[in-house]
Chain A
Amino acid sequence: DVKVTQSSRYLVKRTGEKVFLECVQDMDHENMFWYRQDPGLGLRLIYFSYDVKMKEKGDIPEGYSVSREKKERFSLILESASTNQTSMYLCASTLRASGANVLTFGAGSRLTVL
């Protein structure tokens, strides 16, 4: 069964800490995405990557950065966590092919910043 695995389901961090959220997929997908999910706001795209070492800003990149050193791994980095970054973070991946592709999601990482 294909999988997107997010390393931490629940994290609690303090304001100002550096936070790493890791995502690994085993489907050989080229495209990977990071979304945050907030009640009433749905899913908002933070960053995506369509190849190793490539990244593109999504709709809300401020306060975040990403790293894609290997095809299967896409990391989201909060350089200095703030309370307004308390949220559910969802990683997803999809093949790079013509036409529409279905996103495969991880189970999510719920981050609380105190």
Chain B
Amino acid sequence: AQSVTQLDSQVPVFEEAPVELRCNYSSSVSVYLFWYVQYPNQGLQLLLKYLSGSTLVKGINGFEAEFNKSQTSFHLRKPSVHISDTAEYFCAVSEGAGGYQKVTFGTGTKLQVIP
């Protein structure tokens, strides 16, 4: 069975500093990996996704993530954060082919950007 681990429940960081949000997954088959962001009082929206190919994936708002198969990780990074990046970030893994997909989410990391 697939699972996702986000070890950091909260990450405080000063504005304009770099940040890394960690995500590790486990799965017995090939997977697709995602990061979603949830701003206060809103639903989740896609930040970026890894399907195949280049292990470095670029997303919206200057975020990027690197897929590392040997370490089963998909960490999210941003070189310089802004106040507007304050939100909760969820890593997710999807496995299954065709029309049947099960998506499993991590427990989330709250990014608090400090002015």
Q: Which residues of B contact A (CB under 8 A)?
A: 6, 9, 32, 34, 36, 41-46, 49, 51, 90, 94, 97-108
- Contact (Cβ within 8 A) A103 B103: yes
Complex CA–CA separation, A31 to B6 (angstroms): 26
- Contact (Cβ within 8 A) B107 A108: no
Of B41, B49, B98, B102, which one neighbours A45 at CB under 8 angstroms? B102
Of A43, A44, A50, A90, which one neighbours B99 at CB under 8 angstroms? A50
Complex CA–CA separation, A35 to B105 (angstroms): 10
Of B32, B45, B90, B108, which one neighbours A100 at CB under 8 angstroms? B32
Of A40, A99, A105, which one neighbours B43 at CB under 8 angstroms? A105
Supplied contacts A43-B44, A102-B49, 16 more A-B pairs, CB within 8 Å: A31-B99, A40-B9, A42-B106, A42-B107, A43-B90, A50-B100, A90-B44, A96-B98, A99-B32, A99-B51, A100-B101, A102-B46, A103-B46, A105-B44, A107-B41, A107-B42
Mask for A3-41, Cβ within 8 A of B = 1, else 0? Answer: 010000000000000000000000000110101000011
Q: Which residues of A contact B (CB under 8 A)?
A: 4, 30-31, 33, 35, 40-45, 50, 90, 92, 94, 96-103, 105-108
Complex CA–CA separation, A81 to B100 (angstroms): 30
Among A40, A42, A44, A102, the most chain B Cβ lie within 10 Å of the Cβ of A42
User: Which residues of B sit under 8 angstroms from A41, Cβ to Cβ?
Assistant: 107
